[in-house]
């Protein structure tokens, strides 16, 4: 049974992006670091901010790439290769246009749905077979509006829904870390 050894939250570095929808993965990781009392520090060789956490299940690395979204794989692959972490031991947390705000999906592998962060991670790992925790941010309805949509702040109501999804994901993260993937899917995919 694979054990998650690296949790990468996707987003864009810089103050102008902090509150944008594309940074939902960073929001998750910031909450997780607070909960686990972990402290990020910049690691140039891993192209991001990194925290190492000793957990009952074993050591878990937290990673927030500083590479901008479309080069996320550079950071994920650098850390994974250095510590010999297999793709199926990686959990990537990211925003997802194809899911309504506040909903969550958890899965192993699959396509990238046009998400540039996932696309780069797949290319650099050479496989799509890593776990994804997908935080719904909704779709603007027109593909031509996607870029400005993901790079803007959600409404207060949408942000509250995304924050609830982050909280629910954190509450059920122990299932994922324990390898209880089917139960994690059942709980995370439910609307309650």
Chain centroid to CA 117: how far?
Answer: 10
For residues 162 and 27, what is the distance between their CA atoms, to the nearest angstrom? 9
Q: Are 21 and 152 in contact (CB under 8 A)?
A: yes
As a dihedral over the C-alpha atoms of residue 17, residue 7, residue 114, residue 191, rounded to 10 degrees, the angle is -90
Q: Are 179 and 1 in contact (CB under 8 A)?
A: yes
**19 assigned to active site:** no
What are the backbone dihedrals phi and psi of residue 83, each rounded to the nearest 5 degrees, phi first?
-100, 10
- 17 belongs to an annotated ligand binding site: yes
For residues 3 and 17, what is the distance between their CA atoms, to the nearest angstrom? 31
Q: Two tokens at 184?
A: 């994690």
- 68 belongs to an annotated ligand binding site: yes
* Residue in 22, 39, 139, 189 annotated catalytic: 22
For residues 110 and 35, what is the distance between their CA atoms, to the nearest angstrom? 30
List binding-site positions. 17, 68, 70, 116
Binding site feature residues for tRNA: 17, 68, 70, 116
Q: Which residues are catalytically annotated?
A: 22
């Amino acid at each position: 049974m694979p054990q998650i050894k690296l949790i990468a939250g996707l987003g864009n570095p810089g103050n102008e992006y902090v509150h944008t929808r594309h940074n939902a993965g960073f929001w998750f990781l910031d909450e997780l670091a607070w909960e686990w009392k972990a402290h990020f520090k910049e690691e140039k060789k891993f192209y991001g901010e990194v925290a190492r956490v000793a957990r009952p299940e074993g050591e878990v690395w937290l990673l927030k790439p500083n590479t901008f979204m479309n080069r996320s794989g550079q950071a994920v692959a650098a850390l994974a290769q250095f510590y010999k972490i297999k793709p199926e031991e990686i959990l990537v947390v990211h925003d997802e246009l194809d899911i309504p705000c506040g909903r969550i999906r958890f899965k192993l592998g699959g396509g990238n749905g046009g998400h540039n962060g996932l696309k780069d991670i797949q290319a650099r790992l050479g496989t799509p077979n890593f776990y994804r925790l997908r935080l719904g941010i909704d779709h603007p309805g027109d593909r031509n509006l996607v870029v400005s949509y993901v790079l803007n702040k959600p409404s207060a109501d949408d942000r509250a829904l995304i924050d609830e999804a982050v909280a629910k994901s954190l509450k059920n993260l122990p299932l994922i870390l324990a390898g209880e993937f089917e139960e994690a899917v059942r709980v995370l995919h439910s609307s309650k």
